[in-house]
Each structure stands twice: as structure tokens, then as C-alpha cells.
């Protein structure tokens, strides 16, 4: 939907996509495991250089390009993404699905 609304417009610079709500990588991983009904026992390792501890994209440029834009909430988006991956894995010939 957004792609159709911006086609033909002159846009320069980076346009971040995503939610502007901050979430830690740990919370995101917990959410995915919960949706997959998997146990969650992460191994917390020392951070590597340039590791992201959290995410919160600046989407002000996107909002300036697209007004009255509707965003899918994170939980709903993850549910749809996980269903998509399950479909792809189940329909791929000779697939050897990996665990999420």
C-alpha cells in the first residue's frame, strides 16, 4: 500500500520503515518465542562491537511522505510473518525446515 502511495513522488535520503516504539532485542526474542509457544532460555553473551541492544527507528521522514498512514502493531506483524515462514517452509520442495 505504501509503495503505491509514494510512487511518482520525489524522495531523497533514507526512509526508515517499522515501528517507532522502542523494544529491546531481548523483549523481541521473548515475544517471538511466546508466539511460537517455545520455551525461552537465552544465553546472554557479552555485547560485540556495534551490536544493537534495542531498536527504535526514526520514522519521521516516512510520516512526512505518507500522511494518514496505518501501521500494523508489532505482535500482529510478527504473527503474520511467522505464518508466512511456516507456509514457505511447508511448501518448499525438498525443504529441511529449521527451528525458529
What distance in Å separates the CA atoms of residue 15 and residue 11, rounded to the nearest whole number? 9
What distance in Å separates the CA atoms of residue 42 and residue 62, rounded to the nearest whole number? 34
The 8-class DSSP code of residue 47 comes to P
Mean pLDDT of the chain: 82
Predicted confidence (pLDDT) at residue 83 exceeds the cutoff of 90: yes
What are the residue boundaries of the structural domains of the chain, listed by start? 2-70
Name which residue leads in pLDDT, 97 or 84.
84
Q: Could you please report the per-residue DSSP string of 40-92?
A: ------PPPTT--SEE----HHHHHHSSS-----HHHHHHHHHHHHHHHHHHS
User: Binning pLDDT at 50, 70 and 90, where does residue 6 land?
Assistant: low
**Average pLDDT of the segment spanning 15-39:** 88
User: Binning pLDDT at 50, 70 and 90, where does residue 86 land?
Assistant: very high
Give the predicted TM-score (pTM) of the model. Answer: 0.66
Predicted confidence (pLDDT) at residue 8 exceeds the cutoff of 80: no
Predicted confidence (pLDDT) at residue 11 exceeds the cutoff of 70: yes
Amino acid at each position: 500500500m505504501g509503495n503505491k502511495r509514494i510512487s511518482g513522488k520525489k524522495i531523497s535520503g533514507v526512509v526508515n520503515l517499522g515501528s517507532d516504539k522502542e523494544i529491546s532485542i531481548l523483549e523481541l526474542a521473548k515475544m517471538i518465542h511466546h508466539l511460537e509457544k517455545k520455551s525461552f532460555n537465552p544465553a546472554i553473551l557479552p555485547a560485540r562491537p556495534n551490536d544493537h541492544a534495542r531498536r527504535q527507528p526514526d520514522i519521521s521522514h516516512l510520516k512526512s511522505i505518507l500522511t494518514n498512514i496505518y501501521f500494523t502493531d508489532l505482535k500482529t506483524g510478527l504473527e503474520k510473518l511467522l505464518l508466512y515462514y511456516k507456509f514457505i517452509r511447508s511448501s518448499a520442495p525438498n525443504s529441511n525446515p529449521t527451528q525458529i
